[in-house]
A and B are shown apart, each in its own frame.
Chain A
């Protein structure tokens, strides 16, 4: 595996800044160019270029046999992609919203995730299922969900969630090259700019954020390695996607010296980075936007407790969405924002 950006000409290109959509589009373009077996399919991804523009221009450049629209049938999209993978292609299907992925679950859970195992390596499913997820865009209960825990529970699937344009490109390339099925959830709230959780303040564009510097050309970020967002001593923050930025902003606002890990990949998880951080700080806050009960935070909390118990100086804190459907008008009351995170930090640092 080649790691991180290539060094050639890096300083020349260092200032090229992209938002997350542009970074994803570039990763797809690079992989379509490099590998003739990569194909992109999904609702509205072809001529139109996707409802979020992630596939804009790709059909015109790579042709209709490589980038094409599909019927509105997530079962059919994933099922056909499994068959294409069995043929030897490397499909990158898009599910328009993570909320719509459920009709394709049987094909993901019982088929894609198990092909290698049940056929003892006769057949594999090297798919990368891209799907925008998460709320904060007034999407209501059908355009806001974070169903990542459903997929981390499935043996055979990998679940990847980028938090920056730089990572989105490198992780997506790694996911496409991976020979296992990967669920690639894109936090749509931060497609156009990092979100600090202060919904009542103006939105900052990615161009002002250091992680919007995206090198040109091919690079990949290995799956299973967390990103150390910030070194700190007081407490460990485990987060991914949008919540990395929200947690970081709250820690900064409160003047907390946090050790912040952006997990990047939920399965396989970078357990070493988690252990090292919690052993150092003795306190751990887990933040995700998804509903609380049986969320991925429960798994993280159990792992930290099982493996770092004697280093802990306070109970692990989970900060999550509430166990309700994502409400439309009360979106910001649902969202695990600065108030909820702030209270958890106070609790962790109380003694």
Chain B
């Protein structure tokens, strides 16, 4: 009998070709000269823009190609140009500048010990801000953890964001969630999980509910290319296709999932947009560093969903310019040159140059805007610090730890709450206020 704890003996015959296992490897590692000339980015304006009711089988070119609008001449090209007003473009640029200023400040705050954790979205600002602007403000969004741009675009107060990041006494989530795992029902922004891709079938379920009720609101979800490997993503695609759900599945392909490049999610074999075609879902692959292309794709998908033509999968082809989080150091696994060599540039710079090129913006105004963003974030940070920072005191009454596990506290949680409060008195005495 063969031992099941051991691999089988390989047959001695020599006329069979030995198999080989492919373990993906990114092109460049630390110290390597990065060169992205192998990536086919097509040309701005080249992609056709079909009617929103098009059958997914007609979208192969759009799923394997790249929808681009902004050219090297900083002008908008082709049928995907969303023809936004200069005011809208300036608002978009303003949101992107604000997110960048916010990220800078929060990153530093974490380094200064004001909180435990932060995640920047540098280089990916367009992938959340432009789609958020293309959606209605009451369309429901189910984001992943790098879509702070949606909250900024929807006017969520910076102060609330920072209170959450500091887990301080004014944090609406009562200090329960890791920094940046925001939630705001008022802004139709779903509570961020931290478990990857779980939001995808939830967004589809929300969209199914909206459709079943004859509502007009649609849902959109964001997931990283790495997380598309999760079963939840595929469950979401199946359900979205089966029920023709009015949902937009946004895949932010920023090339890196912590240290694993997109090849570990299948990116060596096909595009992430092409996943949609297999399900019979409309699919677009978009330059994620081109805010106009991002807006146009989201607008197309929203129109499709609102017209009862069903779901769309959009791949935003972009680059994660910084580490995964404050706990990550990308110099340990990728070439430091990748960011500069990225063939699709920087989304903020490109939109800024476009506005300047059409005579609606200038460097002076841009510098003033950046300064104003930095000042506003700085002032708001100071304001939030009045409510405390993480680790300096246990900000929330101990009883809150037991609330919201259930609608009402069952006996065992009441007993445990009493115990926690006793422990607090044992440690701090009764002078300090406690709850």
Chain A interface (Cβ < 8 Å from any Cβ of B): 39, 65-66, 70-71, 73, 75-76, 78-89, 91, 103, 106-107, 110-111, 115-124, 155-156, 158, 178-180, 224, 267-269, 271
Instruction: Tell me if B242 is interfacial: C-beta within 8 Å of chain A.
Output: yes
Q: Is the CB of A83 within 8 A of B204?
A: yes
Q: Is the CB of B411 within 8 A of A75?
A: no
* Complex interface bits, B178-189 against A, C-beta within 8 A gives 1, otherwise 0: 000101110000
Q: Is the CB of A155 within 8 A of B206?
A: no
Q: Is the CB of A83 within 8 A of B203?
A: yes
Instruction: Tell me if B6 is interfacial: C-beta within 8 Å of chain A.
Output: no
**CB contact between A86 and one of B198, B202, B235 (< 8 Å): that residue:** B202
Q: Which of these binds chain A: B208-216, B248-256, B293-301, B314-322?
A: B208-216
Q: Is the CB of B183 within 8 A of A83?
A: no
Q: Is the CB of A118 within 8 A of B173?
A: yes
- Which 3 interchain pairs have the tightest Cβ spacing? A83-B205, A79-B201, A80-B205
Q: Cβ of A178: which chain B residues have Cβ within 8 Å of it?
A: 407
Q: Is the CB of B173 within 8 A of A75?
A: no
A75, A80, A81, A124: residue with the most chain B Cβ atoms closer than 10 Å: A80
Q: Is the CB of B183 within 8 A of A122?
A: yes
**CB contact between A87 and one of B191, B209, B232, B236 (< 8 Å): that residue:** B209
Besides A86-B202, A119-B185, A267-B410, 8 other CB < 8 A contacts?
A79-B204, A84-B208, A103-B231, A111-B198, A118-B177, A118-B193, A120-B174, A122-B191
Q: Which residues in window 401-424 of B have CB below 8 A to A?
A: 404-407, 410-412
CA distance A318 to B193 in the complex (A): 38
**Nearest chain A residue, comparing its CB with the CB of B407:** A179
Q: Cβ of B203: which chain A residues have Cβ within 8 Å of it?
A: 83
Q: Is the CB of A82 within 8 A of B202?
A: yes
Instruction: Tell me if B142 is interfacial: C-beta within 8 Å of chain A.
Output: yes
Q: Cβ of B140: which chain A residues have Cβ within 8 Å of it?
A: 86-87
18 examples of A-B residue contacts, CB within 8 angstroms? A66-B212, A71-B242, A79-B200, A79-B204, A82-B205, A83-B203, A83-B209, A84-B206, A84-B209, A107-B198, A115-B191, A117-B176, A118-B173, A119-B185, A123-B191, A158-B406, A180-B407, A268-B406
Q: Is the CB of B201 within 8 A of A83?
A: yes
Instruction: Tell me if B29 is interfacial: C-beta within 8 Å of chain A.
Output: no
CA distance A88 to B205 in the complex (A): 11
Instruction: Tell me if B37 is interfacial: C-beta within 8 Å of chain A.
Output: no
**CB contact between A75 and one of B142, B231, B410 (< 8 Å): that residue:** B231
Q: Is the CB of A120 within 8 A of B172?
A: yes
**Nearest chain B residue, comparing its CB with the CB of A223:** B410
With contacts A106-B232, A118-B177, A156-B405 taken as known, whether A271 is within 8 angstroms of B198 at the C-beta atoms is no
CA distance A121 to B202 in the complex (A): 17
- A136 → chain B, closest Cβ, in Å? 31
**Nearest chain B residue, comparing its CB with the CB of A156:** B405
Q: Cβ of A73: which chain B residues have Cβ within 8 Å of it?
A: 235, 238-239
CA distance A267 to B238 in the complex (A): 33
CA distance A179 to B405 in the complex (A): 11
Q: Is the CB of B183 within 8 A of A118?
A: yes
CA distance A107 to B407 in the complex (A): 19
With contacts A76-B238, A110-B198 taken as known, whether A119 is within 8 angstroms of B232 at the C-beta atoms is no
Q: Cβ of A86: which chain B residues have Cβ within 8 Å of it?
A: 140, 190, 202, 205-206
- A271 → chain B, closest Cβ, in Å? 6
CA distance A81 to B184 in the complex (A): 20
CA distance A29 to B412 in the complex (A): 34
CA distance A87 to B411 in the complex (A): 30
**CB contact between B201 and one of A76, A85, A87 (< 8 Å): that residue:** A76
CA distance A124 to B183 in the complex (A): 12
Q: Is the CB of B239 within 8 A of A88?
A: no
CA distance A86 to B198 in the complex (A): 14
**Nearest chain B residue, comparing its CB with the CB of A267:** B410
CA distance A81 to B208 in the complex (A): 10
Q: Cβ of B174: which chain A residues have Cβ within 8 Å of it?
A: 120
* Complex interface bits, B393-407 against A, C-beta within 8 A gives 1, otherwise 0: 000000000001111
**CB contact between A80 and one of B185, B191, B201 (< 8 Å): that residue:** B201
